Structures are given as C-alpha cells and as structure tokens.
Chains A and B, each alone.
Chain A
Amino acid sequence: MSRLDIQHGVVEMAHGSGGRVSATLIDELFIRHFDNALLKQGNDSAQFEAPAGRMVMSTDAHVVSPLFFPGGDIGSLSVHGTINDVAMSGAKPLYLSASFILEEGFALAELESIVISMAAASREAGVPVITGDTKVVERGKGDGVFISTTGIGVVPDNVQISGDRAEAGDLILISGYIGDHGTAILSSREGLEFATTIVSDSAALHGLVAAMVEAAPEIHCLRDPTRGGLATTLNELSRQSAVGMQIREADIPVRAEVRGACELLGLDPLYIANEGKLVCICPAQSAEALLNVMQNYPLGSDAAIIGEVVSDNAHLVTMKTRFGGQRVVDWLAGEQLPRIC
C-alpha cells in the first residue's frame, strides 16, 4: 500500500472515497496517532462494556477560524469541548468519537498536527477516541477542516446536576478568568491581528468536576460558558430554572489584557467565549467548601463566588457594576459586533 506523503501532500477527493487511499489516511494518520485497542478493532463501531448507572452523551461540531490559535487548535478544542459538555452533568467521560470533514487541497502536514494535538489532548484527559469517520468535500466547500466529536460518560449515583435546578438563595461560582479564549481567537484572526500575551483557556474540566462533585454532590447546576460567554450561560440557566440572578462585576475574574483588548475592540468580556471554564450553582452552605476545592485544583485556582440566584419572574440577570451602579445583563440580540460609537 502506498504511503501517505504527509510532508508535501494535500487532501484529495480519493481520501474520502472509502477505497485504498482512504484506508491509508486512516491507518497512517488517525489510527497511528489515536492508537488504542478499541479503535484498532477496525469495525464500523467500537464495542465496549457498559458501566452500571446513568449514561450521558453529548455531541459538538467544531468550526474555528483560524484553525491554530494561541493556546490550542481545532484538534485539542474538539476534544476539550465535548469532554466538558459531558462533564457538565457531573459525569465521568469515558469515550469519544470523532468525524472529520476535510476540504480538498488541505495540507496533510496541517492535518497531522491537528490530529497529533487531538490525540495528545485525549491521552492527557484519559478519554480515548474509539471510533471515527472521514469525508472529503470539494475545494471551496469547506474551511480546511471541520471536526465533530461525540462523547459518552457515566454519572455518579448521588449526583443530580441540571440547568433547571437553580434555586433562589443558591450561590454562583466561576472557575477562573473569563474571556481568554475568545480574545485569543480574535487576536489571531486575519485582518484583526494584534499583539497580545493572551492564550486560549481550552482545557478538559472533567478532573475539576470530579473533585467538585466528590466534595459537594449536592451541586445544582454546572455549565461551561462557551459561545456567548458568561452572560449567555447565566441567562440560559435563569430561564431554564425560572429564577433571576444577581452578580457582582468586582468579583468576576477578568485579566487586564482581556479587559484592554475588549475596551479597544468595543466588546464586553461577559459575552466572550471560554473553553476551559465552568459556572457552578450550588446551595449557599456548600459554596465556601466548594470554592476551596476548586482553588486547590490547577484549573480552578482563580475560582470565585460571583453572585447569587434570586427569585424573579422576569428571569433577569442583573449586575452590580464595579462603579457602584446596577445594570441588566441581557441576552445578545444577535452576534456581538464591535461598535463604532
């Protein structure tokens, strides 16, 4: 069988044909790097023993421009994103699947570095990619590579985490600095490049979640504030739980660099995406202990209590500003766009 010319080659339509060329790509790129026994079964599906208990399943499509950004790339992001979605139910993630949509002409060398980064993220997280698929679309019909990942996991018996469980009196925690990922992406986007030290916070949070649910199985809600940022996540949870929320700007961790970049671009860090942060809502009496657990874990070292759940028929999120004022933190009407005035 011909070997793949990773150094100079590009993705060709034949790589998605299902024929010999496809098999070479799968063997020499995907199986080689993802390297695990379940994947090597070589069947259309991976077979494994199901653990006892409640299973969770989540899927996420990843389209990001640019593909490589400070602090990560689409590969590591596609692993972290899905692991985090599974973990936000309190579950221990077990396995991932990955499907790739490749654009004809995409450099195999770039594809390989994405797969290597993805494999490293999956190994580090201890959550293997055990099945996958590859399709190729004609040049101009994709954006290099799209990666869709699905994850499954199992929830500990005593854990009942759901977005509809926030109650008036609960406290709201965030696991660290907000806005890093979105700002890092913006800083490297074509036409908008600016020099910054900000890197994406892309990370798998299941370890942090495991420590949290062990210490406080009574946690009511967990959610990772990705697209739309902290503001959108809090609005989603308010609506789902039919409550209001009151947060304090002074307690929300935002790096000076992120504040500066947002100030310059006319954006609000509350609405900027994160890929390695979680919002936790728990009964007030558990909050301090939980905060300690989070702060003792590397990915939660900058965790903070940022506000509380209140009863409110309008399900509004309001914020006491650092300045001493009060404002509504509303849903975005559309996508967040830089302002000219």
Chain B
Amino acid sequence: MKYVDEFRDGEKARRIAALIEQEVEADRDYRLMEFCGGHTHAIFRFGLHALMPSNLKYVHGPGCPVCVLPAGRIEAAIQLVEAEKLILCTYADLMRVPAGKRDSLHRAKARGADIRMVYSVNDALAIARNNPEQQVVFFAIGFETTTPPTAVAIQIAQAEGLKNFLVYCNHVQTPPAMSHLLASGEVSINGILGPSHVSTIIGSDAYADCCNNHHIPIVIAGFEPLDVMQSTLLLVRQINAGRCEVENQYSRAVTPDGNRKAQALMANVFEQRPLFEWRGLGALPDSAIQIRSEYADFDAEKRFAITDIATADIKGCICPAVLRGLNDPDECKLFATACTPEEPKGACMVSSEGACAAHYSYGRFKSETGA
C-alpha cells in the first residue's frame, strides 16, 4: 500500500530501535504516555514493546473517545431510542461499550431498538433523508478529529431543512483533558506522544500551555509505527537534555496553526460545555462542547430534554492514577475481578488496547509463561 508501507519499514524500525537503545540512559526510567488510541493500536499491532529497551515503557493515555465516554451518556441514548422509537446512528465500536446495569447498545439493538452502525455522519444524514417520517439521532462522539464533520452535517441539515436529523453531542476536547490529567495529582510520566489526527485540526501550538505549565515534553506523533518510534526517539532526546518543548514529528500533516477552516466550522456550530463527565476521570470543567442555541433544532439533548444520568461511582477504580503512570493496573482492587474486558468498569478496560485490558492480556502472558 503506497503511502502506508513506507511508514512500516522493518529495516528503518531496527535502525531507530538501535538509536533509542544507544541513547537511553541506563539509570533513568522513561515512562511515555501515548495519548491516543491510535498510538496504542500501532504499538500493539506492530509489537513495538519488543523493540524498546527495558527501562522505556509506554503508558496508555485517555485518548480513546469510546473509552472515556461515561456509562450514563450511553444509558441516556438507550433510553432515548427505546422511549421515542427513533433511529439511533452510531460508530461501530461504541456498540459494545457497557452502559449501566450490564446494558449496551448491542443489547438494546437485540431487544429491538433501531440502532444502526455508520461509518460517517454522512451515512446518518442519508438515513434521515430516506426516512423522513422518523427522527434520526446521530450519536456524535470523538475528539476534535470527528467534530468538524458533525458541524458540517448540522449545517447541511439546516440548509436542506432536514428537520428529522438530530445530534446527540458527546464531542470532547484534547488539550483540556491532557491538562486536567497532569494537574490532578502526582504524575510519573516524563513525556507525551501527542495526538496525531486531532492535531491536524487544532495544530501543534494548542499544546504549548500544557507543555509549559506542566513541564513535560510533548511530541506530536503520527499513527504509523515508524512515526511512533521516531517520536519516541525525539522524546528520549528531550528528556536526556532536560528540555520541555512541543515538537512536531507528524509534520507531513500537522501545522502549528492547524486547520483554520475546520476550527471556524467548529466555532460556528459548537460552544464550550461548562462540565462534562469522563469515564475514569470524573467531571472535568471546559473539556467538552455542546451545540450552540442557533442550531438548537438539531440538538437531541434539547429536543428530548435529555438530562445526564449520573453514573454510579465506580468504587475502587484507579483509572486516573493508572493514566498518570502512578499505578500499574494490577494494583487496582477491581482488576481482573470486578473489572474485566467482558465487563469493564473503568475506561482503561473498555478497549482491548486500554492500559488495563492490555495488562490483562500481557499480564497473563508474563505470569503464565514466565516470560
């Protein structure tokens, strides 16, 4: 595959691995948070752990939008689709994420709710056009990458007078999440692989405050394995030199300012939401957005007066500490008992690549094989 295989070249990988091996200082621990689910995926899929020295560890961050969505928001969507008999459109990987009371969109669909998996918000628009007699709600989730398309869809719906198209907005923002996480207590990570696709929209300058306020090196990293490795090397060099800068490894797509047009679109349709709950991180101020009142006709929360369903406090869950690199997953009382990949409680167990889910697989691997 052209433009993909170039970034998966095993020979280059070995050369970068050799440089990393050479440059890490033996008496130092390198704990690097890869912020996005996309990075985590690359690390697991291409087996990057095996290419890293033993004192360099990746700590999986909160940048998986599916993982950080609290159960209450999914529960609200299920109540909505079942009570209003409408069509709910969702990205596929949200289907199995647990809501409260052992429920999920998958199970609601099995009970008869009209829940459709879509690849993009455009598909949801098409469903709304083809079913004019039914209300169609798009379950909008994601960071700044998926936000502009949702904004465009709302503008298109307005221009077309598509009155049966609604958006249940759950879009969240990356820099505030990163800052809150770093500010919420002691942190034992010493570098961050910064978001890739998100940064194409918001630009690398968006992380300057976070980097300066928390004195932590950030390298904007692409999602291909060579991107992750090269970014790792850049972080190692910053850490060794005691530098704290925002560097941009993913310069083939990310500029300092980002995509101004997309930013303007987002600003036109959305505004800051005062408080939003994150699974595993709690309620964070100014960390998410909501639909502006000018577009209230397309806001499912307003149309159906959806109120937040409080998520039962997950007693004993140490996701925030795991995400800050303070604790390993198996130090959590719930780990592998109340919280498993089949019945996840905290954010880190939801996706197979979350810190806890990965530890669940690899921990089994290590302990049972003696590896």
Which of A's residues lie within 8 Å of B, judged by CB?
191-192, 244, 256, 259-260, 263, 265, 268, 312-314, 316, 319-328, 330, 333-335, 337-341
With A330-B361, A333-B352 given, can you name 13 additional A-B contacts, CB distance below 8 Å?
A: A191-B123, A314-B364, A314-B369, A321-B45, A321-B47, A323-B8, A325-B49, A325-B225, A327-B45, A337-B92, A338-B119, A340-B93, A340-B141
Question: B46 contacts A323, CB within 8 Å?
Answer: yes
Q: CB-CB contacts of B341-371 with A at 8 A, as 1s and 0s?
A: 1100000000010000000011011001100
Interface 9-residue window, one of B34-42, B260-268, B292-300 = B34-42
Q: CB-CB contacts of B17-53 with A at 8 A, as 1s and 0s?
A: 1000000000000000000111001001111111100
29 contacts between A and B (CB under 8 A): A191-B118, A260-B1, A263-B1, A265-B119, A268-B45, A314-B369, A319-B47, A322-B10, A323-B46, A323-B225, A325-B13, A325-B48, A327-B47, A328-B362, A333-B96, A333-B341, A333-B342, A333-B352, A337-B117, A338-B91, A340-B66, A340-B92, A340-B146, A341-B36, A341-B37, A341-B41, A341-B63, A341-B65, A341-B142
Closest 3 CB pairs of A and B: A325-B47, A314-B368, A341-B37
In the assembled complex, the Cα of A337 lies from the Cα of B94 at a distance in Å of: 9
In the assembled complex, the Cα of A326 lies from the Cα of B364 at a distance in Å of: 16
Q: In the complex, which residues of chain B have a beta carbon less than 8 angstroms from the beta carbon of A259?
A: 1
Nearest CB in chain B to that of A320: its residue? B47
Decide if B159 is an interface residue (CB 8 Å cutoff): no
Q: In the complex, which residues of chain A have a beta carbon less than 8 angstroms from the beta carbon of B41?
A: 339, 341
How many of chain B's residues touch chain A, expressed as a range? Answer: 35 or more
In the assembled complex, the Cα of A2 lies from the Cα of B128 at a distance in Å of: 45
Distance to closest chain B CB from A268 (angstroms) = 8
In the assembled complex, the Cα of A313 lies from the Cα of B14 at a distance in Å of: 30
Q: In the complex, which residues of chain B have a beta carbon less than 8 angstroms from the beta carbon of A265?
A: 119
Within 8 A of A (CB), among B111-157: 116-119, 123, 141-142, 146
Question: B4 contacts A263, CB within 8 Å?
Answer: yes
Question: B47 contacts A339, CB within 8 Å?
Answer: no
Which of B's residues lie within 8 Å of A, judged by CB?
1, 4, 8, 10, 13-14, 17, 36-38, 41, 44-51, 63-66, 91-96, 106, 116-119, 123, 141-142, 146, 225, 341-342, 352, 361-362, 364-365, 368-369
Nearest CB in chain B to that of A333: its residue? B341
Question: A327 contacts B66, CB within 8 Å?
Answer: no
A-B contact count (CB 8 A): 103
Task: Indicate whether A256 sits within 8 Å of B1 (C-beta atoms), given known contacts A316-B365, A323-B47, A328-B362.
Answer: yes
In the assembled complex, the Cα of A322 lies from the Cα of B47 at a distance in Å of: 10
The B contact surface, by secondary structure, is: helix
Question: A328 contacts B1, CB within 8 Å?
Answer: no
Distance to closest chain A CB from B349 (angstroms) = 10
Task: Indicate whether A323 sits within 8 Å of B13 (C-beta atoms), given known contacts A337-B92, A337-B96, A341-B36.
Answer: yes
Q: From A316, A325, A334, name the one whose CB has the most chain B CB atoms within 10 angstroms.
A: A325
In the assembled complex, the Cα of A319 lies from the Cα of B44 at a distance in Å of: 11
Q: In the complex, which residues of chain B have a beta carbon less than 8 angstroms from the beta carbon of A324?
A: 10, 13-14, 17, 47, 51
Distance to closest chain A CB from B343 (angstroms) = 10
Task: Indicate whether A339 sits within 8 Å of B93 (C-beta atoms), given known contacts A191-B118, A314-B369.
Answer: yes
Nearest CB in chain B to that of A340: its residue? B91
Question: A337 contacts B95, CB within 8 Å?
Answer: yes
Q: In the complex, which residues of chain B have a beta carbon less than 8 angstroms from the beta carbon of A256?
A: 1
In the assembled complex, the Cα of A298 lies from the Cα of B36 at a distance in Å of: 45
Q: From A256, A334, A341, name the one whose CB has the most chain B CB atoms within 10 angstroms.
A: A341
Q: In the complex, which residues of chain B have a beta carbon less than 8 angstroms from the beta carbon of A338?
A: 91-93, 117, 119
Task: Indicate whether A325 sits within 8 Å of B365 (C-beta atoms), given known contacts A191-B123, A260-B1, A330-B352.
Answer: no
Q: In the complex, which residues of chain A have a beta carbon less than 8 angstroms from the beta carbon of B64?
A: 341
Q: In the complex, which residues of chain B have a beta carbon less than 8 angstroms from the beta carbon of A191?
A: 116, 118-119, 123
In the assembled complex, the Cα of A339 lies from the Cα of B117 at a distance in Å of: 11
Question: B66 contacts A328, CB within 8 Å?
Answer: no
Q: In the complex, which residues of chain A have a beta carbon less than 8 angstroms from the beta carbon of B96?
A: 333-335, 337
Q: In the complex, which residues of chain A have a beta carbon less than 8 angstroms from the beta carbon of B47?
A: 319-321, 323-327
Task: Specify which of A263, A319, A328, A337 is in contact with B361 (CB 8 Å cutoff).
Answer: A328
Distance to closest chain A CB from B253 (angstroms) = 16
Question: A327 contacts B142, CB within 8 Å?
Answer: no
Q: In the complex, which residues of chain B have a beta carbon less than 8 angstroms from the beta carbon of A244?
A: 369
In the assembled complex, the Cα of A265 lies from the Cα of B94 at a distance in Å of: 15
In the assembled complex, the Cα of A143 lies from the Cα of B192 at a distance in Å of: 50
Question: B36 contacts A316, CB within 8 Å?
Answer: no
Distance to closest chain B CB from A166 (angstroms) = 17
Task: Indicate whether A322 sits within 8 Å of B8 (C-beta atoms), given known contacts A327-B44, A339-B93, A341-B63.
Answer: yes
In the assembled complex, the Cα of A265 lies from the Cα of B117 at a distance in Å of: 13
Q: In the complex, which residues of chain A have a beta carbon less than 8 angstroms from the beta carbon of B94?
A: 340
Distance to closest chain B CB from A307 (angstroms) = 14
Q: In the complex, which residues of chain B have a beta carbon less than 8 angstroms from the beta carbon of A316?
A: 364-365, 369
In the assembled complex, the Cα of A341 lies from the Cα of B34 at a distance in Å of: 13
Nearest CB in chain A to that of B229: its residue? A323
Q: In the complex, which residues of chain B have a beta carbon less than 8 angstroms from the beta carbon of A263?
A: 1, 4
Distance to closest chain A CB from B95 (angstroms) = 6
